[in-house]
Chains A and B, each alone.
Chain A
Amino acid sequence: MAEVNQQGCLFVGEGVVLKGNFEVPDIASISGTVEGELTAKQVLIEATGTVRGKLTGESIDIRGEVNEYVSSSRSLIIRSTGKVTGSINYSEIEIEKGGHLHGDLHNLNPHS
């Protein structure tokens, strides 16, 4: 989907290590490693992808690994290969069987 229009997208290929803070207006697809803060509208952490630091987004789909902090304002999906540790904020969550979750879970809008 992102290949059609790459404007505002970030792709991190397998083996690439990125350090710093990133603001992505559209899709961030991570197959490599990101160290630092990553904010995007839509985040895809592929099976080989790793984020060490803060990850913020509307829709977040995790097949790889995320450490420290995840905040999703719309939907958070942890796939069967996904591994998330640390503090997690979500408004809607789905964890596939086999997904790994270790940490504190908070609902952003618990009474809606």
Chain B
Amino acid sequence: MSIFSKNTPATENESSTSNEEVTQEQVAQEDFVASTSATEQVTRVDSSSRSSVLTKPSIISEGFTFEGTITSDGVLNIAGTVRGKITAKSVLIDSSGQVDGELNSEQLVIKGQLKGDVNCDDLNVGPLAHVDGNISYKYIHIQRGGRVAGKFIKN
């Protein structure tokens, strides 16, 4: 709880506020720090999506292979391999991540490899990413060096 000790000098100034209020404020700050660090990979964190951002991400770790269908209303981080269909609100394919199959999401960040059909609102392709497939999107950002091939359709 190093964050509590770090905050102590600041809260001392507000000595007029009751102890209970101070604790609540600290908890709120800690929540915010936790949520931002968990989603630092996601490009856009606006206030409307914060409620979902506060939920913990589901993680497919490096070295882990998943075959089948994944459905989530929240954030999905893929550092391992997934073969199958993915539906989630926000998906991050990490640099070690591999996805082979259909992917539907609102926000998609690709740093690793993706093969298959993609349907997303907000697509961000990192500089080391490999993407191959049919992609339909609303907003796209491809960083220099990202390798993409296939059909692109803007909705």
- Which A residues have a C-beta under 8 Å from some C-beta of B? 75, 77, 92-107, 110
Contact = CB atoms under 8 A, between A and B. Distances in A.
A67 to B, nearest CB: 14
Given A93-B144, A94-B144, A110 B149 contact: yes
B109 to A, nearest CB: 13
Contact of B147 (A75, A96, A103, A107): A107
Contact of A101 (B143, B144, B146, B152): B152
Contacts of B64: none
B154 interface: yes
A106 B147 CA distance: 9
B149 A105 contact: yes
B interface bracket (residues with beta carbon within 8 Å of A):
10 to 19
Given A97-B139, A98-B139, A105 B144 contact: no
Main secondary structure of the interface of A (DSSP, over half): strand
Given A98-B139, A99-B140, A101-B140, A93 B151 contact: no
7 contacts: A93-B146, A94-B143, A94-B144, A99-B140, A102-B154, A105-B148, A105-B152
Contacts of B148: 93, 105, 107
Interface of B: 139-154
A104 B149 CA distance: 7
A103 B135 CA distance: 10
Contacts of B152: 101-105
Contacts of B141: 95-97, 99
A103 B151 contact: yes
A100 to B, nearest CB: 6
Contact of A110 (B147, B151, B154): B147
B4 to A, nearest CB: 38
Contact of A106 (B139, B142, B149, B154): B149
A110 B144 CA distance: 15
A102 to B, nearest CB: 5
